[in-house]
Amino acid sequence: MKLKLATATAAAILAAAPAMADLVFPDLSYRTGPYAANGIPFSDGYQDYLTLLNERDGGIGGEKITINECETGYNTEKGVECYESTKGEGSLVYQPLSTGITYQLIPKVSADGIPMHTMGYGRTSAKNGRVFKWVFNYPANYWDGASHAVTHILNENDGDISDKTIALVYHNSAYGKEPIRTLEKLSEKHGYDLTLLPVDHPGQEQKSQWLQIRREKPDYVIMWGWGVMNQVAIQEAVNIRFPMENFIGIWWSGSENDVKPAGKAADGYKALTFHNLGSDYPVYDDIQEYVVDRGKAAGAGDQIGTVLYNRGMYAAMLATEAAKTAQEIHDTSAITAEQMRDGMENLEMTEEKMAAIGLPNFGPEFTVTCENHGGNGMGAVAQWDAEAEEWSLITDYFQSDQEILQPLIEEDSMQYAEENDIELRCDE
Amino acid sequence: MPEQVIWGMEVFLNGLMAGVLYALVALGFVLIFKASGIFNYSQGVMALFAALTLVGIMEGQVPFSHLINATFGTEIHHFGWHVPALLAILLTMAVMVLLAWLVNKLVFQHLVNQEPIILFMATIGLAYFLEGMGDMMWGSDIKTLDVGLPQGINPMIDEVTYGIFGYGFFIDNLDLWATGIAAVLVVALVVFAQYTKQGRAMRAVADDHQAALSVGISLNFIWVMVWSLAGFVALVAGIMWGTKSGVQFSLSLIALKALPVLMLGGFTSIPGAIVGGLIIGVGEKLFEFIVGPLVGGATENWFAYVLALVFLVFRPQGLFGEKIIERV
């Protein structure tokens, strides 16, 4: 009896654990709780792309991919538990899709030697690879986003916004406060007035903030929201008849989920993005053929082509391209987490590469280096067409104001290095 | 009149409207606590579940479709019809009555005479169960809810106030509707509790359920009725808040807004929930307007609790709550 039990237990463990040669990509997702509507499409996109590589190409460089999903509920404690429970299974790179979880994981991944990619979120100064060896945030970060919004406003006003007022409506959390310093610095440079309007979590009640906007009549409103805060803000803006074309959200405030509840009135609302939109790309035909039609889609298959699905797929694509780079550098298909980090640090995304993948012009071109883990700070502006119910890019990719941002990143990362006694790298 | 005073009046009126929305959520808590002594942690999730069910019925969505499709390999999502809002509200109410019966039959019937903390824990479990059930039945995407309630600035108030003050007040049409509906709801509930046989039975059970049993009042019936009423209030709250933000899982967090209202108004008084809601709504909005700019804003959430705590110092049972007298 004991032997049978032991055999059954061993069989169960073997069945549950990934084969040691597999390339393991953990997916810290949130399919439940208040933010599930955003977590689901991102996770679906992330997993479907990895499944596509397995089904179509037999994995990466001949190595099969194993997806290790763990539900965080967008809860920082659960996110850390997920990390602890999956890190020993050969995880190559973590993408927690939460700034709160990111902050908790930075010291952990640094100690455990597993890279983390926080695309468009997390700690902005992690861009400095001299300090943050294991953390990457290419192709763009929060401070890039703040600068993109101001540059777009500048472009709309012939380069002079010294007589303009910009209000920042932000989630009153570490995430929401990220752009403040950048916007203040940019305000000194360009002469606009900045009004700060914090909204408490979760953001279901924003009457005070929008009454103030109605009274003070800022020329532009920039939003740093997530979840229900976005939908309520857009509805309140509609209610006070704020011009939608002067309302710009960060990329986490620019999905279909955010604009649809306000209906036709949300037409013209803008949001930043660091990747392209829609589903008119050859890779989607492959996802349909190899993933959805074979019944292997991560979700119900109803999210394909949405903004957050695209973002999840883009995250997976960047991760797998880094894995390919790592395989080339180390001349082995069965890479380790440390080798994956090398792949990420030598990643070069070119238009030729994206076109070959089936995603032409999907993201900006960028190069990651030892010093620069954040890419070139390129982003674009998208606008919502309520009639067609679709987002579309209204600008090309443009660069953030590096003259302002680079010193801020340097200052913040050096302070972190000093506090944590980190030896700077990349000097040789 | 100084600009600040005029703006303050606008903020005051909007605070009243916000207070009505808070009170709508608090009412559900009061009903159940009054009749059974249970602090129903799942009231916010009930509002979410009711709103999800309403949208699902209106759009002709097949419940559990993801589960059905995954199990049987089918591709069914919709029945292909749309149900008018009023009929959908009635059908949702039927679902909430069924839920009340099930909750009573499967949970609380087995917990009669248990400590309040046990009953409270049961409602926490119920909250998680309902959230998961809502997800499985209707999916977790954000749904647009349109039962025909108007939204946006009320032009008449805008014009009239502009004529008087030279500044048009912003009052949301949805808030005006919510106020009207809440007023009708409260009057109906008070009349029901005071003047109907079932209402009096409900109050008798609330006073002493053993004495009520001894005169032939069915505890089961009263509890199902009270949970149904709370379900109805949850549906109304779900419609109001869901129309604003879309129906999504964060709707369950509206319960957070009801807690200071309950602390202030008392857990056992229907008028208390309304007055508490209004005081919290006006208080937090005026505080944000006057003090917010001096301290960096975002004062509303904590101020509501501070205000409730200040009231608790002077009236621990809340403004309208029943005074607890315990003889040793």
In a domain, B224, yes or no: yes
By C-alpha distance, the chain A residue nearest B256 is A202
In a domain, A382, yes or no: no
In a domain, A366, yes or no: yes
Please report residues of B whose CB lies closer than 8 A to that of A194: none
In a domain, A421, yes or no: no
Instruction: Let me know whether A11 and A57 are in one domain.
Output: yes
Q: Using an 8 Å CB-CB cutoff, list residues of chain A that contact chain B.
A: 31-37, 40, 172, 196-202, 204-205, 207-209, 211, 214-215, 227-228, 231-232, 235, 238-241, 257, 260-261, 263, 295, 300
Instruction: Let me know whether A178 and A306 are in one domain.
Output: no
Please report residues of B whose CB lies closer than 8 A to that of A32: 131-132, 135, 140, 249
Instruction: Let me know whether A295 and A252 are in one domain.
Output: no
SS3 A91: strand
Q: B253-278: string of b/e by CB count within 10 Å (b at 16+)?
A: bbbbbbbbbbbbbbbbbbbbbbbbbb
Looking at residue A6, its pLDDT comes to 55
SS3 A27: strand
Contacts 24+ apart (CB under 8 A), A121-127: A121/A97, A121/A175, A121/A252, A123/A99, A124/A178, A124/A374, A124/A409, A124/A412, A125/A408, A125/A409, A125/A412, A125/A413, A125/A416, A126/A373, A126/A374, A126/A413, A127/A372, A127/A373, A127/A374, A127/A409, A127/A413
In a domain, A387, yes or no: no
Please report residues of B whose CB lies closer than 8 A to that of A208: 11, 14, 285, 288-289, 292, 300
**Residue B151 to residue A207, Cβ atoms within 8 A:** no
Q: Check if the beta carbon of residue A281 is closer than 8 Å to that of residue A354.
A: no
Give Cβ neighbours of residue B320 (< 8 Å, ≥ 6 apart): B265, B266, B268, B269, B271, B272, B275, B276
Average pLDDT rounded to a whole number, residues B317-323: 78
> What are the backbone angles phi and psi of residue B96, rounded to the nearest 5°?
-70, -35
Instruction: Let me know whether A129 and A114 are in one domain.
Output: yes
* Better pLDDT: A85 or B66: A85
What the block records as the tokens of B105 is 């039959």
Looking at residue A14, its pLDDT comes to 46
Instruction: Let me know whether A148 and A257 are in one domain.
Output: yes
Residue whose token pair is 């600008």: A395
* Better pLDDT: B164 or B209: B164
Looking at residue B311, its pLDDT comes to 87
Q: Using the predicted structure, report yes or no on whether residue A1 has a pLDDT greater than 50.
A: no
Looking at residue A427, its pLDDT comes to 81
Give Cβ neighbours of residue B290 (< 8 Å, ≥ 6 apart): B8
Looking at residue B44, its pLDDT comes to 94
Share of chain B above pLDDT 90, in %: 68
- Quick one: which of B158, B151, B157, B206 has its CA closest to B33? B206
In a domain, B203, yes or no: yes
**Residue A37 to residue B248, Cβ atoms within 8 A:** yes
Residue span of the structural domain in which A299 resides: 2-140+281-376
Cα–Cα distance for residue pair B259/B267, rounded to 1 Å: 10
By C-alpha distance, the chain B residue nearest A173 is B298
**Residue A235 to residue B132, Cβ atoms within 8 A:** no
Give per-residue pLDDT as tens, B251-299: 888 888 889 999 999 888 888 999 999 999 999 999 999 999 999 888 9
Instruction: Let me know whether A158 and A121 are in one domain.
Output: no
Looking at residue A9, its pLDDT comes to 53
**Residue B300 to residue A196, Cβ atoms within 8 A:** no
In a domain, A369, yes or no: yes
Instruction: Let me know whether A87 and A196 are in one domain.
Output: no
- CA dihedral (B112, B114, B115, B121) in degrees, to 10, reads -90
In a domain, B158, yes or no: yes
**Pick from B14, B131, B141: which is nearest to A211 by CB?**
B14
For residue B108, give how far its alpha carbon lies from the nearest alpha carbon of chain A (Å). 26
Looking at residue A19, its pLDDT comes to 47
Residue A160, amino acid? D
Examine residue B84 and say whether the peptide bond preceding it is cis (omega within 30 degrees of 0).
no
By C-alpha distance, the chain A residue nearest B65 is A300
**Residue A204 to residue B298, Cβ atoms within 8 A:** no
Mutation target vs B (from A211, A226, A242, A258; most B CBs, 10 A cutoff): A211
Q: Find the DSSP H helices in B73-115.
A: 85-106
Give Cβ neighbours of residue B19 (< 8 Å, ≥ 6 apart): B261, B277, B278, B279, B280, B281, B282
In a domain, B295, yes or no: yes
In a domain, A21, yes or no: yes
In a domain, B324, yes or no: no
Mutation target vs A (from B141, B288, B305; most A CBs, 10 A cutoff): B141
- Quick one: which of A353, A278, A354 has its CA closest to A309? A278
Residue A358, amino acid? G
In a domain, A18, yes or no: yes
Looking at residue A347, its pLDDT comes to 98
* B37 pLDDT tier (thresholds 50, 70, 90): confident
How does the average pLDDT of chain B come out, rounded? 91
Domain count of the fold of chain B: 1
Give per-residue pLDDT as tens, B115-124: 989 999 999 9
Looking at residue B326, its pLDDT comes to 64
Instruction: Let me know whether A174 and A111 are in one domain.
Output: no
**Pick from B17, B132, B301: which is nearest to A200 by CB?**
B301
In a domain, A301, yes or no: yes
Instruction: Let me know whether A256 and A146 are in one domain.
Output: yes
Instruction: Let me know whether A136 and A167 are in one domain.
Output: no
* A7 pLDDT tier (thresholds 50, 70, 90): low
List beta partners, residue A380: A273
By C-alpha distance, the chain A residue nearest B240 is A204
**Residue B253 to residue A34, Cβ atoms within 8 A:** yes
Share of chain B above pLDDT 70, in %: 98
In a domain, B169, yes or no: yes
A353 sits in which H/E element: helix A351-357
Residue span of the structural domain in which B269 resides: 3-314
Average pLDDT rounded to a whole number, residues B292-313: 90
Domain count of the fold of chain A: 2
In a domain, B319, yes or no: no
The CATH number assigned to the domain holding A235 equals 3.40.50.2300
* Better pLDDT: B182 or A186: A186
Q: Check if the beta carbon of residue A364 is closer than 8 Å to that of residue A376.
A: yes
Instruction: Let me know whether A9 and A64 are in one domain.
Output: yes
Give per-residue pLDDT as tens, B122-158: 999 999 999 999 999 998 889 999 999 999 999 999 9
